[in-house]
Amino acid sequence: MNLQVFVASLAGTGVEFLETAVIASALVRTGSVGEAILGTVFGNLLIALPAYFSWPWLARIPIYLFQCVVGVLLLWLGGSWLIKSVRRKRHKQRPGWIDDPLRGFPSRSESGGTRFNFFATLVMTKSAAIEAFEICMIVSALAVVSGAWGSALAGMAAALLGTGCLVIAAKGALQHVPEVDFKLWTGVLLSSIGLWWLYEGLVHWP
């Protein structure tokens, strides 16, 4: 078990799973239960299926080059999380989608009074796909560079299980989870790993 990879995968994917759960919970509060479920399933399938069939090609990339690419990606992802979280903490703000996931979209009454809200499903699909893409990027980056696929996948599985337990324990109060703090410290962790792997790739560059 590669503890560094496990912890990084747990923290990184945990934030993404949590964001997906919070968005779905917000849609459920608007009455879009079926739309939240369908959107989550569709969004994850849109990313999971291509990722499953394409990940073996990653092993063909030279390790030093992949270390540099992964280092830059993790620095970008972790750094953006860190900057956004610091800014939000300074202004005591939270992401707007937590309280109003359908902002900018027609409400149920404005969409013809239909029982199924297409726009809510679209919002959830898009949100779930974005989070799933970042999960794939984090897990693939950690696993390919370190070779510890088991540790990376175990961290993702633990994050998924932990998020599921949190959803059950929170009982509809996920909007009160300190998502900004989670993202802040996860950003620090991913940025640190990204910086180290970028250094490793440059040092071993032929």
Predicted confidence (pLDDT) per residue in 8-58, tens digit: 889 888 888 888 887 787 777 777 788 888 989 999 898 888 877 776 666
Task: Identify which has the larger pLDDT, 67 or 118.
Answer: 118
Q: Which of the residue ranges 51-65, 69-83, 84-98, 132-146 would you say has the lowest mean pLDDT?
A: 51-65
Give the number of domains in the chain.
Answer: 1
> Within 13 A of 22's CA, how many CA atoms are on the CB side?
21
Q: List the domain range (segments joined by +) for residue 107.
A: 3-203
- What radius of gyration do the chain's Cα atoms show? 18
What are the angstrom distances between the C-alpha of 30 and each of 4, 39, 108, 119? 40, 15, 9, 13
pTM, 2 dp: 0.69
At residue 166 the predicted structure's pLDDT band, cuts being 50, 70 and 90, is confident
